[in-house]
Amino acid sequence: MTKPAPLSLDQLQVLLSVAEAGSFAGAARRLNRATSAVSYAVDTLESQLGIALFDRGTTRRAKLSTAGEAVVAEAKSVAYSAQMLRARVKGLREGLETEVSVVVDAMFPSERLVEALKNFHVRFPTVPLRLKLEALGEIERSLRSGTAVIGIGGSVHMKSEGLRSIQLAGVQLVPVAAPGHPLAPGGRAKPGAPREHLQLILTEQSATDRRDFGVVSVNVWRLGDLASKHALLLAGIGWGGMPEPMVRADVDAGRLVRLQMPDWRGGVYPLQVAHKNDSPPGPAGQWLIECLIAQDDALARF
């Protein structure tokens, strides 16, 4: 027998008003109701909960009991989530989407992402976000399959049919290795011969579309995600290209060193933000895209 007691939001709202106003009559005025209605609501609430919320013994003033204080605290939490519901519904009524799902290339600098998402949450507190970090072609795939509505990734991997994409500032790719590595400045390898050393490159699992980005060496390890590549580089295993913002701290701290490679043509990893043409993002998603572009412009100013 599920009998969760017929609590009502209104009762809780009345309780909160009384607690805030400090008196039944005050709450009644604030709620535009008769005092007796307030009294009645509190009464039924008390009997439904089975505990006294107010100290009625001595004085006639509305003084919360200790139990009452506790219930008020809980009631606030209930009222808050109800308020969230209303806010969310308000957004939906105004055409906001129910959620925004984003796939991001692991190359995309996380500070820029975090910054954009922070703004997004301020602007659209009621719209939940779904975030996936993927690499290379997986971004386009998520976009096409509808798993995500917005994709941020390398433009090489976006065939444009059916997708609308906007260019963003790319990230600088720099060749790095651990300080002890032979290719490192001051290392014992002669310059111009990086081909002979183990290169770590990013690839993807899927059999199709296996072109790689910036392969120089013969001796190559293919890694499925950028974090693993990062970890191996830090451990001193091989060398490889990394997005500059991601290794800046490591280079500054001396955990990695930037390699001098004349024949390195990795240059800039181009980035763009894209969405499907036939299911464009709603207002919130649109806003997020524009936020990323604006961020881009601001960066370009330096």
Residues that bind DNA (CB under 7 A): 6, 8, 10-11, 23-26, 32-37, 39-44, 54, 56, 58-62
Residues 164 and 295 sit within 8 Å (Cβ to Cβ): no
Mention every residue, 6+ apart, whose C-beta is less than 8 A from residue 263.
192, 194, 216
Distance (Å) of CA 82 to CA 12, 27, 75, 251: 11, 20, 10, 49
180 scored as a contact of its own copies (CB under 8 A) = no
Residues 42 and 75 sit within 8 Å (Cβ to Cβ): no
**Cβ 25 to DNA shortest distance, Å:** 3
For CA atoms 206, 208, 209, 215, give the dihedral sign: positive
51 scored as a contact of its own copies (CB under 8 A) = yes
Which of the ranges 75-83, 106-114, 143-151, 247-255 carries the binding residues for its own copies, by CB under 8 A? 75-83
- The single residue among 36, 47, 81, 228 that binds its own copies, judged by CB under 8 A, is 81
- The single residue among 20, 43, 74, 209 that binds its own copies, judged by CB under 8 A, is 74
Mention every residue, 6+ apart, whose C-beta is less than 8 A from residue 259.
174, 175, 176, 177, 183, 184, 185, 194, 239
Backbone phi, psi, residue 60, to 5°:
-95, -5
**Residue 122 binding partner per list DNA, its own copies, none, with a CB distance cut-off of 5 to 8 Å that depends on partner kind:** none
**Cβ 67 to DNA shortest distance, Å:** 15
Site string for its own copies, 98-127 (x = CB under 8 A): xx----------------------------
Give the alpha-carbon dihedral of 7, 10, 11, 12, to 10 degrees.
Answer: 90
Stretch (H or E) spanning 269: strand 268-276
Q: State the amino acid at position 256 in one-letter form.
A: L
Distance, CA of 155 to CA of 133 (rounded, Å)? 16
Distance (Å) of CA 253 to CA 1, 181, 227, 236: 64, 16, 18, 15
Residue closer to DNA (CB basis): 29 or 132 = 29
**Residue 172 binding partner per list DNA, its own copies, none, with a CB distance cut-off of 5 to 8 Å that depends on partner kind:** none
**Residue 5 binding partner per list its own copies, DNA, none, with a CB distance cut-off of 5 to 8 Å that depends on partner kind:** its own copies
Identify which of 146, 94, 139 has the alpha carbon closest to the alpha carbon of residue 281.
Answer: 146
Residue closer to DNA (CB basis): 24 or 124 = 24
Residue closer to its own copies (CB basis): 100 or 139 = 100
**Cβ 288 to its own copies shortest distance, Å:** 18
- The single residue among 57, 59, 60, 93 that binds its own copies, judged by CB under 8 A, is 93
Residue closer to DNA (CB basis): 18 or 176 = 18
- The single residue among 37, 78, 117, 234 that binds its own copies, judged by CB under 8 A, is 78
For CA atoms 123, 124, 128, 129, give the dihedral sign: negative
Q: State the amino acid at position 112 in one-letter form.
A: R
8 scored as a contact of its own copies (CB under 8 A) = yes
Which of the ranges 88-96, 140-148, 189-197, 242-250 carries the binding residues for its own copies, by CB under 8 A? 88-96
**Residue 108 binding partner per list its own copies, DNA, none, with a CB distance cut-off of 5 to 8 Å that depends on partner kind:** none
50 scored as a contact of its own copies (CB under 8 A) = yes
Binding site for its own copies (CB under 8 A): 4-10, 12-13, 49-51, 66-67, 69-71, 73-75, 77-78, 80-86, 88-89, 92-93, 98-99, 128
